[in-house]
Amino acid sequence: MQIFAYVFIMNIAIIGASGYSGAELIRLLAKRSDAEIQTLVSGTTAGKRLDEVYPEFTGRTNLRFTALDDASFKDIDVAFAALPSGESMKIVPKLHDEVPRVIDLSGDFRLPSTEQYTAYYKHEHVSPSLLPKAVYGLPEIHHDTIAKTSLVANPGCYPTSAILALLPALKHGIVEPTGISITSLSGTSGAGRSSSLEMSFTEVHDNIRAYKLGAHQHIPEIQHVLSKATGKSVTVSFVPHLVPMNRGIYTTIHSSLMQSISQEEVFGLYKSYYREARFVRVKEQVAQVRDVLRTNYCDISMHVDKRTNQLILLSTIDNLVKGAAGQAVQNMNIMFGLPEDCGLS
């Protein structure tokens, strides 16, 4: 007697599919046998074939981009919203009504209050009723609630690298929760695919530039998530920099030690804390961007500076994978009860 196993195929829609994060989602999902991309929505490339916009897909798919007004979400199991902040919150409520699972890659549903959102994103929030329903999608903290929710707010790339690096030290009371200094370097793809003078080759090449000093929208995200996860009032100084590489995040953190502790003890504590985290690697050698490119890993290394009584943490991710599309797929896997590394290993 033959026994046939039923394989569930996830029907997927991607809104904002022509941007860098959207394209990364397509790359990750197109190779899966348990996923079928049904709908690609893009306002700027509606009507075009996917391989016209991204030639790497030539011969691999007949998918076309469609306008939002022409898109159907009937029978869609999960929708990814890969739109800029401010645009996503206009569309996610409709998706949330029509699709059983929505994963939003923008910053529109990461903060708990409209006041914080308006202060840092510089515009009003038009869908405040969804804020309490959204689960912050950092699997290393919120795995169980991600599994039960219908709306995931996918974390930002900078916060992912900073939060994962700081979390064990803060939870174990190794470092002061205030006065933490975070410096992050980002590849240019973190700014999105739209063109601007400041993102042109001539402006970026052979240059490093800090921006949004003291006012970056990821500051309240980092502080809120760490404060809630540790039960401490965490405050950070955060300075992002644009560097001339396509992708990657390199974060350096300085924090004051609260106790005498050795390098070996901190390393052991981090290894133990992340022993079951599929995509966090604690390394003895200095973390570097090249080791995480096109992967869903976050690499963390540390140095106990006894001269200054500081713990220096280094954290690296690929901003388009663990910082965006890869983490979104990791969250999708959790929502469907699949192993976290499906399609990501």
In this structure, what CATH number is given to the domain that contains residue 109? 3.40.50.720
- Residue 2 covered by a domain: no
Distance CA(156)–CA(280), nearest Å, equals 16
Query: What pLDDT does 195 receive?
Result: 53
Distance CA(292)–CA(274), nearest Å, equals 17
Taking the CA atoms of the chain, what radius of gyration do you get in angstroms? 20
Distance CA(322)–CA(315), nearest Å, equals 12
Pairing of the two strands 78-81 and 35-41: unpaired
pLDDT in tens, 75-133: 999 999 999 999 999 999 999 999 999 999 999 999 999 999 999 999 999 999 999 99
Query: What pLDDT does 4 receive?
Result: 55
Distance CA(270)–CA(254), nearest Å, equals 16
Q: Are 208 and 242 members of one domain?
A: yes
In this structure, what CATH number is given to the domain that contains residue 161? 3.30.360.10
**Whether 59 contacts 92, CB under 8 Å:** no
- Residue 277 covered by a domain: yes
Query: What pLDDT does 270 receive?
Result: 98
- Residue 340 covered by a domain: no
What range does the domain containing 328 cover? 10-155+324-335
Query: What pLDDT does 137 receive?
Result: 98
Q: Are 20 and 145 members of one domain?
A: yes
Q: Are 104 and 161 members of one domain?
A: no
Q: Are 46 and 92 members of one domain?
A: yes
Output the DSSP codes for 143-185.
HHHHHH-SEEEPPPHHHHHHHHHHHHHHHTT-B-SSSEEEEEE
Q: Are 177 and 249 members of one domain?
A: yes
Q: Are 107 and 206 members of one domain?
A: no
- Residue 343 covered by a domain: no
Output the DSSP codes for 20-84.
HHHHHHHHHHHT-TTEEEEEEE-SSSTTSBHHHH-GGGTTT---BEE-GGG---TT-SEEEE---
Report the catalytic residues: 157
Question: What token pair was written down for 208?
Answer: 């490093």
Q: Are 54 and 112 members of one domain?
A: yes
- Residue 345 covered by a domain: no
- Residue 317 covered by a domain: yes
What backbone torsions phi and psi does residue 21 show, to the nearest 5 degrees? Answer: -65, -40
Query: What pLDDT does 44 receive?
Result: 87
Q: Give me the residues of the chain with pLDDT under 70, please.
A: 1-7, 190-202
Query: What pLDDT does 8 receive?
Result: 85
Contact residues for 306 (Cβ-Cβ < 8 A; gap 6+): none
Question: What token pair was written down for 203?
Answer: 């402006």
3-state secondary structure of 315: strand
What residues are paired with 135 via a beta bridge?
152
Closest CA to 301 of 260, 277, 266: 266
Q: Are 43 and 110 members of one domain?
A: yes
Q: Are 117 and 34 members of one domain?
A: yes
- Residue 164 covered by a domain: yes
- Residue 1 covered by a domain: no
Contact residues for 88 (Cβ-Cβ < 8 A; gap 6+): 16, 81, 104, 105, 106, 108, 109
Q: Are 93 and 210 members of one domain?
A: no
Q: Are 97 and 169 members of one domain?
A: no
Number of domains, the chain:
2
Q: Are 146 and 20 members of one domain?
A: yes
